Structure formats: C-alpha cells, structure tokens
Structure 1
C-alpha cells in the first residue's frame, strides 16, 4: 500500500517526466551530432579537399588522412566558395544563425523566453558545416548546441510547458549537443549551467536534466564515432608543489592572450565588417577570402586545429611555431566568425589555449630544466585556463578538458590556472556578449527577485495609478496659515514652490513640529524661512530602485516627483504605499505571465 502511494506521488511523476524528456533531448542531440559530422566531412571533402587540395590533421580519435596543400593558391578559392554559400544560406533564410551559436542560445534563454525558430537549427548546421568544411577557423559546438537547444525549445512549446521549464529543456539540449561532440557529458552539463552568467554562478536547475541529456547524446554519438578520449595524452599527474608558481604565471598569460582574443574578435566585427558597405551575405566570403590569403603562407590556420594540438602534446612543434599558430588562430577565427560566418568559438579557444600552454611549457622547460612541469601538461592546463577566462566558465572548462584528454591527474593545476585566468580578466572581457553577470540580472528570473521587479518599473508606472499630484505651498505663505493647511491635510511632505510653480524646497510634518517647540519670537514668518533642501527629487523616468533608496534614507514616507531636473515643476508625490502597490501589481502580472501558456507565434519552418 505504501509503495503504491509512493508511485502516485505527483512529485515523483514530475521527476520521471523530466528524466524522460531529458533522455529524449539527448537522443535528438546525439543524432544531430552524427548528422552534423556527416555534413562536415562531406563539405570538407567537396570544398577544402577537392578545390583546395588540403586536409589538415585532425584529433587522433577522429581519424582522417592529412594531405596537401598541393597548390596553396587554391585555398582562397575554397574559402571564398564556402563563404558565399554559407552567407547566402544564412542571411536569406535565418539571419540569427550568423556568428557563433552558443551566444544565440544564451540570448534566447535570457531575453526570448527560451524560444527559437525551428528553421535556425538546420540552417545553422548546414552553414557551419560549409564554413568549417571549406577551411574556416570555427568550432563545431555552436551548431551542435543550437541543434540540441532548438529541439529542447520546440519540445517545451509543443508540450505547453511554462517559460521556466522550456528554458531548462533548451539548455539541456545544449548540454546534450556539446557533451556528444566533445565526449564530455559532465563538463557539458556544467557548461550549459555556467555559461549563462559571467560571474561564477550556475543555473543549477539545468545541471541534472543537462547531465542526463549529455550522457544519452554522448552514448549515441560515441557508438557511431568511436569511444575514448579526443586526444592521446601520456600519463601525467601533479606531484610537485613548486610547479604551482609556474602554473599561476601560465594563468596570467592565458588572461593576457584572452583579452587580446576577445578585443580583436569584436574589433573585427564592429570596426571592420559592420560598417563595411555592401550586402551582409557577401561579408562572410570577404572574411573567408582574407583568411585564404593568410593560409597561402600559413595553411595551419585553417580548420579546427585539433591535429596541431595533438602534435603539441607529442612535443613535435617548436615554440616559435606554437606562438605564431596561436596568434594567427586568433586572426583566423575573427575573420571567419566576425564577418558573419557560421560556427563556434569554443573549439578555437581550446586550440589557442593549448598552443599557448605548449609554448609556455617548452619555454620554462628550457629555462628551468628539472624544475618546470612537463610541456604536455601545460597543453591541457592551458586549454582549460584559456577557455575559463574568455568564456567565463572556470569549472566547466576544467572538467571538459579532463574528459576530452583523460588528464585527471592534472586537476589541481588546471583549477589554479582556470581560476587565475578567470580572475585576471574583467567580467566585461568575454566571448559571449549575451551573458549577464548573475541570476538576479537575468530577465529569466524577473519576478523571483525584488530588485528585478523595481528595476523594471519606473516612477511613471506609479504615477499612472495616482489620483492627485498632492498639494504645493508657496514660499511666501504665512507660517500660521501653513500650520492650518498641514493640520487639515493628510500629506506628510509639502513641496515649497516659487510664483512660477518651480520647486524650491520641501517641508515635512516633522519640520513643523520642531518649529512649534520654539518660542513665538523665534518662529519663522513664512514657509520659505523654514523649508529645507529636497530629498531627490525624482522624475517620472527614474527607476523605482532609486525611489526605494530615497524613501529608505529619510524618516517621512514621501518623495517629490518633478517633470524634469531642469524645470523642476512638481507633478506628483510618491509614497511608500504607492511603491508597494506598484511592486505587488507587477509581481502578480509577472507570475501570471510565466505560469500561463502564452506561446508566442513563431514563423513556420
């Protein structure tokens, strides 16, 4: 009997539904990763392979034969063709698929109720496969994240779930996609929960659905693409405390390179391609052609670059090459994505960090033989540290790199480098510009935090409900008449105005009480003699957060509102009661909006 009643518990049934939905999203994410992998290899064979006669080395687990280029001058042609195809596909069918997809998912979570157009995922997948397959420097996580997130969003809408639940399913889809393609289910679930905020904060409700989705997707994708770690890494572990000082310096270096990366990335977008004349769909081809010209001299700039990181782990690359590779990879990724090309920035960040860590490790090994950590260890630690700084995901970055490489023995230095890089980079210096600082700053949590409610309301919202602007008093009003006026009214604060109705000061009941305690000879003759400076004043466009601070800083319960700061004509009095009523009305409105199924009409596929 007790067991039967337990299974009828609605809370258990709700949890069971979340498990099933998360697994379903994981299935679609894993299959989506397989489909994207096929599209990518087809595109690479047709564009970079057949036209450019080049195939860059890949990660060991992914296989593929590296060759060429036979004639480097064909590389700009391959990239230009890919840029034209990708640009036309995106800008004529789904403009929001341009750029890096993870940031689009973050934006959807915070600002679009977790809703994504159905056509975005397939367009993003095809255009990204073309961009990367033609030689563009971009990552696979962007399109994969959007495939999983788009299905999670669709499922939430189809089942008529609340905005909150749809957002959670969308992020579970992101975790499923990233966990599949990088073979890092735990790190992907942490990434989906952590990447929404630039401060070290998590959307904790995403963690378990994201983990279930990522495990499911990882299992399906690995059954197709192979099991194991993405990179072949020797047995390395941390066992020398003296290495921590060197690792801390590496963290600072990751932060410095990360600042250059993010600044240059958005400089190319905002200062070069945005103001560039001409149709938007042409710009990805222009960026791709520029990258192709660089590739004539340095073909290693093309593609995802994982093969070169494996070579760095093996110790077969020089310091000079690694530093040049990291610098050119920053330029290559900026030209590919900032021009409007489609792809991710997560993968290139890992590659840049790995190359930087390898150069750093080799340099210290030559300077301090016997004291420095192994260069291969610095590759893994650099990957996680660099990503932690630019993506603002210190925990997820460390976990993902360990899952991708099997370098669990480097947990301690990885955490140190990630924390150092994260703390050395200001919150504003980040790759994902749609991140918000913390949960209270997200519109997704408006209605859960009182500060959010007041921040989204203005004084005007209170005035719309106010019946009277209150009573004003002329500065030359006799004091005896002033006492009678205040005794017969209910106001606690009276604005003192000039003949042209301009605010001069204010009087409160407390001010009058103090004056009445004085002798008649000491009492003022007119209101202007006893008025004091105004607290505030407020204007109709001021946020209610400011009004709350002003009311909290004074004894009386009223603040004067003027039309504007320059003219200062009194328009109303705002009381604590009106502020509380406005807060209550907005709270009710937001909660009702979030609980009912007011699905916004979306464009058909």
Structure 2
C-alpha cells in the first residue's frame, strides 16, 4: 500500500472513529446521569423497591410490543459483527437506556456495560449505514462502537479498545479494527468527561513483589475466581432456560423475577445488593469485616435480575462479586486487602466474559500499575479454568482454550455450551434464530 493510501485510510479511521466516539460519549453521559438520578431516588425512597414486580411487568410489556428485534442484547451485537446481515435497529439505544434506568430505579441488580455496548454498537451501525461504508468497514465500526461504549461508560478507553477487539471472538483478536476502536474509545471518554461525568475513583494498591509464595497464593486465588465465574455463568443460563420454559410471557416472567428479588431483599435485610452496589465495592478495598457471604448474595441477586429479563449488564455486579470475593480471599491467604479486592474485581469479569487482556488493562487504568503482574496471573488462570463457556453465548471460538489447532471455522459459544461433549468444527452449527436473547 502506498503512503497516500495509508494516509487516506488513517484519515478515514480518524474521522469515522471520532464520529462514533462522539455519539457514544454523549449517549454514555446521558445514561450515566440518568442512572445516577435513578439510584439517588431509590436510595432516598427505598419503598419503591416493593413495586419492582410492577416495573418488570411494564418493562416486559414494552419489550414484548416494540423490543422483539433487539431482545438479543449483547449477543445480537456480536452476531451482527460476524454475520453482518441486518442493521442493528436504532431503537436499541433508547430502549435499552430506558429499560436499564428503570431496572435500577426499582432495585434490579444489573450493570452498565450491556447498555453501553448496545447503545454504542447500534449508533455505530447507524453511522456505517449513513456513510454507506463497505461490509468490512461496517464490521470494524461495530467493534469501534463496542469500544466507544465500554470505554466511555467506565472511563477506561484503553480497556474499552481491547474489549471491542477481544469480546467478539475467543482466542483471536480483531486487529483490523484497532485504529477505529482506539479512536472511538478515546474520543468517547473525552466527550463523556467533558459533559461533567465523574467516574468512581478506587484506591491505588501499593506494589507487592512477586515471590514464589505470592505466586502460589495468586494461583489459588485464580482457581477460586474461576469457580465463582462458572457458578455465575451456569446459574444465569439455568435460571433463564427454566424461567423461559415455565413462564413464556416476558412481562409475567419479569414480574415473577421482581417478586423473587423483593422477597430476597427482605430476607437478607439490606439494600446493599440492589442496583450497582458501588458503595460495597469501595468497602471491599478497606473493610476486613465485610460479610464473607456478600459475594454470593450479590451473585444471586444479579442472576435472578438478568435471567428474568431485566435490562443492564454484568460488569459492575461482577465487580462487586469479584471485589467482595477478593476481600474474603485476602483474609484467608494473607494478601493485601486492597490489592486482592482490585484483582478480584477485574479477574472475575475477565473470566466470565472471556476477555482477560481487556480486564487486566482495565485494572491498570482503574487501580494503577501496581496491580501488575498480579491481575494478569489471576485473570488468565481463571479464564483458562472456566472452559468453553461465558456470559455471551454468541461469542465465536477460533481455538479451544486448552490448545490444539485453529478450528476450521468460527463456532458460536452457544453451540459448544449446548453440546459439551462434541468437538467444535465437526458438524456445522444450527442456523441461529432471528434474535438471540441474552446479556443486556
């Protein structure tokens, strides 16, 4: 490629990536502002949680009427990156924003990344169709939308860049989208911050020398993280299948989920496990008296919320679970409390989402370089031990985690999960349905 062609290509990515990043940044700023207001209202008037079943009924009716094309959530986004047939509906952005804000307003335990990724991808696809780009460029802009949404909603543009490249395919990075993803994530973060959004500031753990003894502790830590990640993934998939089979109606299913959450809320006797749970995440870094069951209860609240169909994502709840788990393991293994909480925060989601590199970088952006190499060791260990499973069934597999040759074709994770004894690549996977319900 000549210098002029390279310059034109780079200029195109700067322009298109900046447009995608700008719209992602604005969308994330609006979303985070509304989410903050919803959380404030709920914490100030906790009685509103009693109406969560009615909220579920209403959100479910809204999605049953107008949301059928977008109910696949993050899985629909990943499928679109690979299959590239239909445009992501523009309605995905406002509907997932509204649904997530209402979920948090009434007390559902969900996160932010699902909403940010879906808003970013749908807006990026609108940009791609507006400028009539090629199919290859469109796929790269979709990755840029994922990166811009993720990076701007958490204030971690480098992790957002790698997440956009890493999440669509387990075992292979989409480097062709590197420049637009980086531009989108950086611009999106700058725009979100310029609109007055402030992200949570976590403590910066002191550096800990990596000795053989410390390494052994981190390996045990990684095993524990993998076990909890597997428990979360399997519980969400199990509850989702059982609820869909027992209660086919989405509004009724969400109402039932709301009832279960209200009952669980009253049984545990605290509101710590509702919403994002950021105060408890912060507490995990400093409080050696944090209840040891906190991570398990947050996992249960989140699994019920997402399985029932409420909107949001998994990142922040899994940050809670991972940080609280790290707090417990720090006390058991004799590790620094703040460092273990920070490593657990990043490693659990990295293992559950099959994105170990992105979450290791995210830990550095959130907590400082002192978490290296500890977070990488734990995250990669947990990622490998979780096997061929994850919270995004639409992820494609290019190579099995335990090694071996590259597969003859990219296999959706959902096919491996549904046939655990089969060898991927032996049989063509079944044609996916028009929409894939999953992570939101």
Superposed pair shares fold, TM > 0.5: yes
Partner of 1:297 in structure 2? 267
Partner of 2:431 in structure 1? none
The one-character-per-residue Cα deviations of 1:220-264 (angstroms, maximum 9, x if unpaired) are 11223455x633314411214121110110000001111111111
One of 56, 63, 77 as aligned partner of 1:90: 63
What's the CA shift for 1:95?
2.4
| CA distance in structure 1 between the partners assigned to 2:329 and 2:407 by the alignment | 48
Partner of 1:287 in structure 2? 257
Where 1:388 maps in the other structure, the secondary structure is helix
| CA distance in structure 2 between the partners assigned to 1:352 and 1:185 by the alignment | 23
What's the CA shift for 1:419?
1.2
Partner of 1:404 in structure 2? 366
The one-character-per-residue Cα deviations of 1:423-459 (angstroms, maximum 9, x if unpaired) are 11111x211100110289xxxxxxxx99559xxxxxx
Partner of 2:15 in structure 1? 20
Whether the aligned pair in 2 keeps the contact of 1:82 and 1:130 (CA below 8 Å) is yes
| CA distance in structure 2 between the partners assigned to 1:329 and 1:96 by the alignment | 30
Partner of 1:153 in structure 2? 125
1:277 maps onto 2:247 in alignment: yes
One of 315, 318, 343 as aligned partner of 1:381: 343
Alignment CA distance shift 1:355-1:413 (3 Å):
same
Whether the aligned pair in 2 keeps the contact of 1:114 and 1:170 (CA below 8 Å) is no
One of 206, 226, 229 as aligned partner of 1:236: 206
One of 401, 424, 435 as aligned partner of 2:385: 424
Partner of 2:414 in structure 1? none
Whether the aligned pair in 1 keeps the contact of 2:93 and 2:118 (CA below 8 Å) is yes
1:190 maps onto 2:146 in alignment: no
| CA distance in structure 2 between the partners assigned to 1:40 and 1:285 by the alignment | 21
Partner of 2:32 in structure 1? 37
| Structure with the largest fraction of helix | 2
Matches within 5 A, 1:140-539: 140-199=112-171, 201-226=172-197, 230-241=200-211, 242-271=213-242, 273-277=243-247, 279-298=249-268, 299-315=271-287, 317-318=289-290, 321=291, 323-365=292-334, 373-406=335-368, 408-427=369-388, 429-438=389-398, 451-452=408-409
| CA distance in structure 2 between the partners assigned to 1:278 and 1:342 by the alignment | 18
What's the CA shift for 1:278?
5.3
The one-character-per-residue Cα deviations of 1:129-151 (angstroms, maximum 9, x if unpaired) are 11122211111111111111111
The one-character-per-residue Cα deviations of 1:520-561 (angstroms, maximum 9, x if unpaired) are xxxxxxxxxxxxxxxxxxxxxxxx999xxxxxxxxxxxxxxx
| CA distance in structure 2 between the partners assigned to 1:132 and 1:198 by the alignment | 31
| CA distance in structure 2 between the partners assigned to 1:91 and 1:439 by the alignment | 37
Q: Which runs of 5+ in 1 are unaligned?
A: 1-5, 55-73, 366-372, 441-448, 454-543, 547-605
| CA distance in structure 2 between the partners assigned to 1:405 and 1:164 by the alignment | 36
The one-character-per-residue Cα deviations of 1:31-76 (angstroms, maximum 9, x if unpaired) are 0011112332343455x246xx23xxxxxxxxxxxxxxxxxxx354
* Structure with more relative contact order (C-alpha pairs < 8 Å, separation 6 or more): 2
Whether the aligned pair in 1 keeps the contact of 2:398 and 2:409 (CA below 8 Å) is no
| CA distance in structure 2 between the partners assigned to 1:225 and 1:88 by the alignment | 34
TM norm structure 1:
0.63
Alignment CA distance shift 1:418-1:277 (3 Å):
closer
Alignment CA distance shift 1:335-1:433 (3 Å):
same
Alignment CA distance shift 1:91-1:143 (3 Å):
same
Whether the aligned pair in 2 keeps the contact of 1:26 and 1:176 (CA below 8 Å) is yes
RMSD: 2.4
Alignment CA distance shift 1:159-1:240 (3 Å):
closer
Whether the aligned pair in 2 keeps the contact of 1:76 and 1:290 (CA below 8 Å) is no
| CA distance in structure 2 between the partners assigned to 1:289 and 1:450 by the alignment | 44
| CA distance in structure 1 between the partners assigned to 2:24 and 2:33 by the alignment | 14
One of 77, 94, 97 as aligned partner of 1:125: 97
Q: Which structure has the bigger radius of gyration? A: 1
